[in-house]
Structure 1
C-alpha cells in the first residue's frame, strides 16, 4: 500500500505541475501580437504537448487514488468526511483540467475573447485547489 500511496503522490504532484504551467502558456498566447505566427505556433505546440502530458499523468493519479479508496478502504467509516471533501476537490481539479482543454481549443481556433489578465487569474485556481486538498489530507478537519 505504501508504494501505491507514493506513486499516487508523485503522479498528483506532476499533474499539478502541468496544471500550474499550462495556463501560464495561455497568458503568453493571449499576449501574442497579431501577425506573430511563429511565436503563436510555438506556444500552441507547447500547450498541446503539455496538455497531453498532464492528461497522461492525471489518469494514473486518479486510478491509484481510486485503488487506495476502494481497494484498501482508506477513508471509509465514521470520521472520514475529509475524504469526501477531498474527492470533491478532485472533481473540481478534473473540471479545471477539462476547462484547460476547452480553452486551448478556443485559443487555437482564435475564438477566445479572454484577456491575458483573465488568464493570470485563471492560473491561480490550481494553487487554491492544491492548498485545500493538502489541508484536507494533512489536517483531516472532518
Structure 2
C-alpha cells in the first residue's frame, strides 16, 4: 500500500503494509499500525554506509543480529542474537532494506504476544512495493527524516 510522509520540506512517497493501516495490529497480518510511535533506536549497516548522525541510540548492525517475531518466544519484539535454529528476522539482509532502520516504539511497553513486532521505518523496495507492516522510504527521504528528528520526535500513522 502506498502512503505519504509529511516532512518539513514537503510530502514524500512511502510504502506501507500490504494489508493497509489498522487500529488493531496482529502479528503477520501485513498491516501498518495506526498511532503515534516514538523512535526507540537507529540501526545501520556500517559496511554499507557511514555512521549517521542521530539524537537517538545508535547501533551498527552485526552479522548475527535479528529481530524476534515469534509471539511464543520470551524475546518477542526484541533485538536478538541469531542462533542456527532461530526464526528471527535477520537484520543483515542481502538487499538494502535494512541498511538504515528506525525502530519504532510499537508493542514494546509492555509487549503483548501477537500484537505485532518489528515495526520499522526502513528503505523501500523498487517501486515502493508494500511492506509486511513497516513504513518504507527512499534512502534520500529516510536520511532527510533522520536529519530532522529531535529527541521526543515520533512517527504518526493516520
Bigger-Rg structure (1/2): 1
Query: Going by fraction, where is strand more abundant, 1 or 2?
Result: 2
TM-score normalized by structure 1? 0.23
Query: Going by fraction, where is helix more abundant, 1 or 2?
Result: 1
Considering Cα pairs closer than 8 Å and 6+ residues apart, tell me whether 1 or 2 has the greater RCO: 1
